[in-house]
Structure 1
Amino acid sequence: MADKSQLPFGKKNYVLMVIGIGILILGFTLMSLDGEQYGFGFLGLTLGPITVMIGFIVEFFAILTKPE
């Protein structure tokens, strides 16, 4: 029988999740810093969304990584 106090993820998973959240915050901040009208500049259309996508990929791997 499994111990009820055991966390569902390991330390590595939680570290990856925090890193992924940080990357997501960075990406959304980059998109908001775009000075072009309606966010149609490089930051709003290219760099920000790519950074957000990388953040979601890190979160995906953080969830799927097998805890030790």
Structure 2
Amino acid sequence: MEKDNKKTENTSFLFGKRNYIIMLIGLAVIALGFILMAGGGSDDPNVFNPEIYSWRRIRLAPTLVIIGLGIEIYAILANPKK
């Protein structure tokens, strides 16, 4: 009788292992973009440091962040059953 009263629950995750791996890769790319964007300031506010306008901070870092967001969207939309 006890076995009849117990409900068997089949718990499944929303995403598969592949989705989580792709999400971690996307987060790593986003984090790398923000790390490359950091720095370039000056300790003295009266001194201008032109390094803040370097190619790495203006072009590369924001591109990496956008690519990382695209990877995250792909990870969410990817079929977990494959």
TM-score range, shorter chain: 0.7 to 0.9
Name 1:42's counterpart in structure 2: 55
Name 1:67's counterpart in structure 2: 80
The structure having more radius of gyration, on CA atoms, is 2
User: Which residues of structure 2 form unaligned runs of 5+?
Assistant: 1-8, 42-48
Matches within 5 A, 1:1-68: 3=10, 5-34=11-40, 36-37=49-50, 39-68=52-81
Post-superposition offset of 1:42 = 1.0
Alpha-carbon distance between aligned partners in 2 of 1:14 and 1:29, rounded to the nearest angstrom? 22
User: Which residues of structure 1 form unaligned runs of 5+?
Assistant: none
CA RMSD of aligned residues (A): 2.0
Name 2:6's counterpart in structure 1: none
What is the total number of aligned residue pairs between the two structures? 66
SS at match of 1:7: coil
SS at match of 1:43: helix
